[in-house]
Amino acid sequence: MGKIAKTIVTCALTGAQQGKDANPALPEQPDEIIEAGLDAWRAGAAILHLHARDKDGKATGDVGTFRRIVEGLRDGGCDAVLNLTTGGAVAGLSVDERLQILPELKPEIASFSVGGGSMLGRYDAKTETWIGDRFVQLFTSNAELERVARLFQDNNVRPELEVYHTGMLNNIETLHGLGVFDEPLLVNVVMGIPGECLKPTVKNLLYVVEGLPEGAQWLVSAIGARNHFRMLGAVLAMGGHVRVGLEDNVYLNRGELAPSNAAIVEKAVRLIRELGAEPASPAETREILKLH
């Protein structure tokens, strides 16, 4: 028999938007995030995706807060790969605020949304109004994308390339051709955000994956309770990796709020095993991604 396929489980602990009003278990302060990260790691998450919040629970790019979270996880014995966000544009953080963690902390992985931005929002037919209607600007030019990519490379940080719509595939192809990415590429296909983003369908996922450079490793962030676990089977069948966590979905089952990030990870691990795969350890994850 062949080797059992290894699936990397990423847990996105808190994000930049939702707070405890969405789910009281969503961690906001550093000690909460550390505890949630340790529990998610023990439950089987090999990568922890980290955002930071200020004392009021709002998204921040403060290096000191990120450092406190990173050191707290390491002091707790956590050997998970830490993926620090350079996102937060949706919460109003500037480019400089979002990028300062790269030269200061030099994480193994950091997120990099490879596009100009997306128009978000949905139309509510009952009230005949738009909800969450706005444009979230990420970067302003191709030259800025290249500058950011080289900042990752200069600081030996592997970018997790976040794709929200198919136009971003063009940016990945261009930047890849410039030689600014180490191999293998790591791509996060984000699906299910209302607006100018990919709908969470197998057809859309297949189109994106077939458009990635050869040898790329990829995962899916399926946003929202309806999508979070439903896409997992397709992802595994196509050879991808999995992202779960309270940043993307606050429910464990239909109508049941998740009691913790760890509970969501435990469910994902169970589903992965039932489908014939096995969650990768942090060491195996570093080997798969060829992290330094």
Which tens digit of pLDDT belongs to each residue from 110-131?
A: 999 999 888 888 988 999 999 9
The alpha carbon of residue 47 and the mean position of all alpha carbons in its chain are separated, in whole angstroms, by: 10
Which tens digit of pLDDT belongs to each residue from 152-185?
A: 999 999 999 999 999 999 999 999 999 999 999 9
Q: Give the residue among 37, 38, 40 at the shortest CA–CA distance from 50.
A: 37
Where do runs of H (alpha helix) occur along the chain? 30-43, 63-75, 95-99, 101-105, 142-154, 167-177, 202-210, 232-237, 261-274, 282-289
pLDDT, averaged in runs of 10, over the chain (292 residues): 80 94 97 98 98 94 97 98 90 88 97 90 90 86 95 97 96 97 97 93 97 96 93 95 97 96 98 96 98 86
Q: Where are the domains of the chain?
A: 6-289
* Predicted local distance difference test score (pLDDT) of residue 1: 42
E strands in 151-255: 158-163, 186-191, 217-222, 241-244, 251-253
Gyration radius of the chain's alpha carbons: 18
- For residue 110 the two structure tokens come to 């950091």
47 Cβ partners below 8 Å, 6+ apart?
A: 8, 9, 10, 11, 80, 81, 82, 83, 109, 282, 285
Q: Give the residue carrying structure tokens 């949905």.
A: 122
- With the CA atoms of 102, 33, 24 and 92 taken in that order, what torsion angle do they form, in degrees rounded to the nearest 10? -20
CB half-sphere exposure, 214, CA atoms < 13 A: 0
H helix or E strand, kind and range, residue 278: strand 278-279
From residue 39, how far is each of 24, 78, 133, 266 by CA, in Å? 16, 10, 35, 10
* Predicted local distance difference test score (pLDDT) of residue 66: 97
CATH no. of 6-289: 3.20.20.70
